[in-house]
Amino acid sequence: MNTTEMILKRRSVRTFSVGPRQEDIDKIMAFAATVKNPYGLPIEWKVLSAKEDRLSSAVIVGTDTFIAGKMKKAPHAEEAFGYAFERVLLCAEALGLGCTWIAGTMDRSAFERAMALGEGEVMPCVSPLGVPSEKMSLRETMMRKGIRADSRFDFDALFFSGSFDTPLSPEKAGDLREPLELVRRAPSAVNKQPWRAVVVDSAVHFYEKRSKGYVNDAGWDLQKVDMGIALCHFAMGLEAQGKQSSLTVADPGIAMPPETYYIASCRLDGAREEKE
């Protein structure tokens, strides 16, 4: 299955028939060690056992295996984590395993203890790993209905041409249609889909449409993790087309709607990467 098919077919899995084989865990961890993010921030990955590490998540049934990552707090840490962890989880998907992003529905203190967080470190999210069950638990079924997990905003509600005043239709997106569709299908916290993008010439500028309640007292923004996932999907969509791109952080000054914040720009001309 190619990248596009895998992303379009994936779904968040919370009900499992059995945990992963050790050989698959080894493959995932070997791949994770090679994953880079556009911000150059290091992330340490670890596979955890619910039994051995005394972990729990109220929404997960049928597996005791979790994968998590930790990193130092830094500018763009949220986006970097989202970008890298999505690559790791898509590797698991390619091996036939199920997974889902978890940030709140878990005993966070227990997971952070198992990850041995040091000073200034964060563990943004975790995911279970296992073979998807043929039948969802009632708990998962109700949860998916509650967040309308299978629905997505329309293409032209998320993507724009030149400015936020001009919606971009799939028909007018040209070669960007498929990469942007992969962004549209990305997973996000409570399916809020915070990503917005404005296409201007050879650049696609990404923005966060922020919802209330996703920034904690320390300033950590969970929806920026979602933005990292979106950036990952867009990059993978371009890669599937054989195209090169670079990520820059340089606000183009486009007028933004309320509660909308600039995140990054993807330049399709292979320009040198810049970071702030």
Mean pLDDT value of segment 28-56:
97
CA distance 47 to 53: 10
What's the pLDDT band for 136 if we cut at 50, 70, 90?
Answer: confident
Contact between 198 and 161 (Cβ < 8 Å): yes
Give the rounded percent of residues in the chain with a pLDDT score beyond 70.
93
Does the structure show a pLDDT above 80 at 217?
no
Which sign, positive or negative, has the C-alpha torsion 83, 152, 190, 24? Answer: negative
Would you state the structure tokens that stand for residue 247, as one six-digit string? 């990520």
Does the structure show a pLDDT above 70 at 127?
yes
CA distance 271 to 185: 27
Mean pLDDT value of segment 79-91:
97
The H helix count followed by the E strand count for the chain is 9, 11
Which secondary-structure segment (H or E) carries 69?
strand 65-72
Mean pLDDT value of segment 51-80:
96
The better pLDDT of the pair 149, 258 is held by: 258
pTM above 0.85, yes or no: yes
For each of the domains in the chain, give its residue range(s) and CATH number, in order of start: 3-138 (3.40.109.10), 155-267 (3.40.109.30)
